[in-house]
């Protein structure tokens, strides 16, 4: 195994430039948006390959917002480097997803209790042969508590997500969903959660995923730009309140 002494895909002036608490949106520009609108004294600390990372303060506590890119390979690179080189302790992925269950409605937020994937990612990573990984229960409980305080409980669903190797809307993903064992009730599909949570569990760190439902196989509703922004802001607030506890 070759790891080296320094990360290859994150470059900071100092290891202290990355906080021990990290939010990870997929989109670099969403990381920029969060830094500018939610953090105090935020500064850009890494921009290798335009994968932007900012560190600032939320209610006086140091927090980093680091983009992950799309898909498990990209997420796994940044999650590993954050955990291994920067001693990050908690990561909450904040992203979007498609609902594949009528219980999950457009504009609602899904919290991963577990994630199913038929990928070989974990087997390649460290010979893990199971297809389910479990999010950190302590972190999830804090999110549930804060959802009550923020009056978001009625829009929050806890359950299993599925992480796909391809972008669901571009394939016949019912074919994939039909291969998932019937005892698993999947709420939504996305592309990064499985990798993040598996790496966190392997390294004895804490991670989970919050995903706002922006499309659904059961609905033709398309969120306006304003509605999507408000929904994402609610999720960002929930993640920030929970990760600092």
CATH architecture of 15-243: 3-Layer(aba) Sandwich (3.40)
Per-residue confidence (pLDDT) for residue 173, from 0 to 100: 86
In whole angstroms, what is the distance from residue 165 CA to residue 4 CA? 28
Sign of CA dihedral 166, 229, 198, 80: positive
In whole angstroms, what is the distance from residue 18 CA to residue 54 CA? 8
In whole angstroms, what is the distance from residue 101 CA to residue 189 CA? 10
Q: What is the domain partition of the chain in residue ranges? A: 15-243
Inter-axis angle of helices 225-243 and 28-38, to 10 degrees? 70
Of the candidates 79, 66, 11, the one whose C-alpha atom is nearest the C-alpha of residue 34 is 66
Contact status, residue 155 vs residue 103, Cβ threshold 8 Å: no
CB atoms within 10 A of CB 221: 13
Burial class (CB in 10 A: 0-12, 13-18, 19+), 172: exposed
Per-residue confidence (pLDDT) for residue 1, from 0 to 100: 63
What is the helix (H) or strand (E) element at residue 92, kind and residue range?
Answer: strand 90-99
CB atoms within 10 A of CB 29: 11
Contact status, residue 198 vs residue 121, Cβ threshold 8 Å: yes
pLDDT tens track for 51-71: 999 999 999 999 999 999 999
Contact status, residue 81 vs residue 205, Cβ threshold 8 Å: no
CB atoms within 10 A of CB 25: 26
Active-site positions read: 215
Residue ranges in the chain modelled with pLDDT below 50: none
Per-residue confidence (pLDDT) for residue 185, from 0 to 100: 97
Contact status, residue 79 vs residue 192, Cβ threshold 8 Å: no
């Amino acid at each position: 195994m070759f790891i080296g002494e320094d990360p290859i895909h994150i470059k900071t002036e100092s290891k202290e430039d990355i906080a021990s608490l990290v939010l990870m949106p997929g989109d670099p520009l969403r990381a920029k948006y969060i830094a500018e609108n939610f953090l105090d004294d935020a500064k850009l600390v890494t921009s290798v390959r335009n994968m932007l990372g900012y560190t600032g303060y939320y209610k006086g506590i140091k927090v980093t917002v680091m983009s992950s890119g799309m898909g498990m390979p990209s997420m796994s690179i940044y999650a590993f480097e954050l955990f291994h080189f920067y001693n990050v302790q908690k990561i909450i992925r904040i992203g979007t997803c498609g609902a594949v269950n009528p219980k999950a409605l457009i504009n609602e937020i899904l919290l991963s209790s577990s994630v199913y994937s038929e990928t070989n990612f974990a087997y390649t990573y460290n010979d893990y042969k199971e297809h389910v990984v479990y999010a950190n229960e302590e972190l999830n409980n804090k999110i549930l508590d804060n959802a009550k305080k923020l009056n978001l409980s009625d829009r929050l669903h806890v359950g299993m997500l599925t992480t796909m190797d391809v972008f669901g809307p571009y394939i016949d993903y019912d074919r994939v969903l039909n291969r998932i064992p019937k005892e698993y009730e999947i709420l939504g599909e996305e592309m990064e959660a499985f990798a993040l949570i598996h790496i966190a569990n392997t390294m004895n760190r804490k991670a989970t995923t919050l995903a706002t439902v922006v499309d659904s196989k059961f609905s033709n509703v398309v969120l306006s730009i304003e509605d999507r922004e408000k929904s994402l802001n609610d999720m960002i607030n929930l993640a920030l309140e929970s990760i600092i506890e």
